[in-house]
């Protein structure tokens, strides 16, 4: 039996090179605390440092690849509104939200040790603790409205800015650290 699921937004997952993860973590280590959840913006000079090896250049290429694959469009320019880091410890939620711009993304920089029994625990509607949960529309028979991914260090998710997502609080130890971006994209008219 073949299954087809041609509708709905495309979510891309790519693996970012470890040296880039390390570089963002090095900066974030100076801004985070070992026991208190926090958020902060990444300064523009950090994001653009390194020219072709910069975070902005690399992320821009991911956005181009994503749009080429998702809608076969050629991207003329990618402008980043903002890059920011979210550092969370046990019990801190990221409520359901969307981003702004055109294309958004989230990169996992650190993952906590989630208590073993959390793997079995789900919130209402099947959202899993500590996972990223993408939501669309309402629940309908034979049409999925939620997908959950377990964060792994280096995994970079790219998706449309309007796509709702949520991370429920986890029970466990250690830090859940992620970096997000919002990008405005200029696409070549065909
Ligand atoms: Fe988000």
Please compute the mean of the pLDDT values over residues 59-81 and round it to a whole number: 94
pLDDT of residue 5: 76
Mean pLDDT of the chain: 91
What's the pLDDT at 137? 85
Beta carbons of 180 and 165 less than 8 angstroms apart: no
Q: What is the mean pLDDT of residues 37-58?
A: 95
The pLDDT of residue 54 is: 94
Sign of the dihedral defined by the CA atoms of residues 90, 96, 99, 105, in that order: positive
**Residue for token digits 């959390």?**
118
User: What pLDDT does residue 144 have?
Assistant: 86
* Rg of the chain (C-alpha set): 17
CA of 35 to the centre of ligand 1 (A): 22
Q: Output the CA 138–ligand 1 centroid distance in Å.
A: 20
Highest mean pLDDT among 32-36, 82-86, 116-120: 82-86
- Cα 2 to ligand 1 centroid, rounded to whole Å: 33
**pLDDT of amino acid 183:** 98
Cα–Cα distance, 62 to 52 (Å, whole number) = 13
Q: Ligand 1 centroid to 45 CA: how many Å?
A: 23
From CA 142, how far away is CA 171, in angstroms rounded? 32
Task: For residues 80 and 73, give the distance between their C-alpha atoms in angstroms, rounded to a whole number.
Answer: 18
pLDDT in tens, 114-150: 887 776 667 766 777 788 999 998 888 888 888 999 9
Coil, helix or strand at residue 64: helix
For the chain, the structural domain boundaries read 12-187
pLDDT of residue 24: 97
Measured in Å, residue 173 CA sits from the centre of ligand 1 at 22
Residue pair 174/112 in contact (Cβ under 8 Å)? The answer is: yes
pLDDT one-digit tens code per residue, 97-107 = 999 999 999 99
Q: 1: CA distance to ligand 1 center in Å? A: 36
Q: How far apart are the first and last CA of the chain?
A: 37
- d(CA 96, ligand 1 centre) in Å: 8
Percent of the chain at pLDDT exceeding 90: 69
Ligand 1 centroid to 143 CA: how many Å? 23
* Tally of CB atoms within 10 A around 105: 24
Q: How many whole angstroms from 52 Cα to the centroid of ligand 1?
A: 26
User: Strands, DSSP E only, in 1-60?
Assistant: 12-15, 38-41
CATH number of 12-187: 2.60.120.620
Q: To which residue do tokens 């949960």 refer?
A: 133
108 within 8 A of 149, measured Cβ to Cβ:
no
pLDDT recorded at residue 189:
74
Give the Cα separation of 75 and 2 in Å (integer).
33
| Percent of the chain scoring above 70 in pLDDT | 97
CA–centroid distance, residue 184 to ligand 1 (Å): 16
Distances (CA, A) of 34 to 43, 57, 177: 21, 30, 11
* Tens-digit pLDDT profile for residues 147-168: 999 999 999 999 999 999 999 8
Global pTM?
0.92
CA of 60 to the centre of ligand 1 (A): 18
pLDDT score for 190: 66
C-alpha of residue 105 to centroid of ligand 1, in Å: 7
Q: How far is the CA of 106 from the centre of ligand 1 (A)?
A: 7
């Amino acid at each position: 039996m073949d299954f087809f699921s041609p509708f709905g937004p495309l979510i891309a997952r790519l693996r970012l090179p470890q040296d880039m993860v390390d570089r963002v973590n090095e900066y974030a280590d100076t801004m985070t605390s070992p026991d208190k959840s926090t958020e902060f913006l990444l300064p523009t000079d950090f994001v653009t440092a390194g020219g072709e090896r910069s975070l902005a250049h690399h992320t821009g290429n991911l956005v181009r690849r994503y749009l080429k694959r998702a809608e076969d469009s050629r991207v003329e320019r990618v402008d980043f509104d903002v890059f920011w880091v979210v550092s969370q410890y046990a019990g801190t939620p990221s409520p359901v939200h969307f981003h702004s711009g055109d294309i958004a993304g989230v990169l996992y920089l650190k993952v906590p040790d989630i208590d073993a029994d959390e793997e079995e625990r789900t919130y209402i509607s099947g959202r899993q603790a500590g996972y990223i949960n993408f939501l669309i529309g309402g629940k309908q028979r034979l049409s999925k409205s939620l997908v959950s991914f377990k964060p792994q260090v280096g995994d970079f998710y790219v998706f449309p800015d309007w796509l709702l997502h949520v991370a429920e609080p986890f029970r466990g130890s250690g830090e859940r650290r992620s970096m997000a971006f919002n990008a405005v994209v200029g696409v070549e008219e065909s």
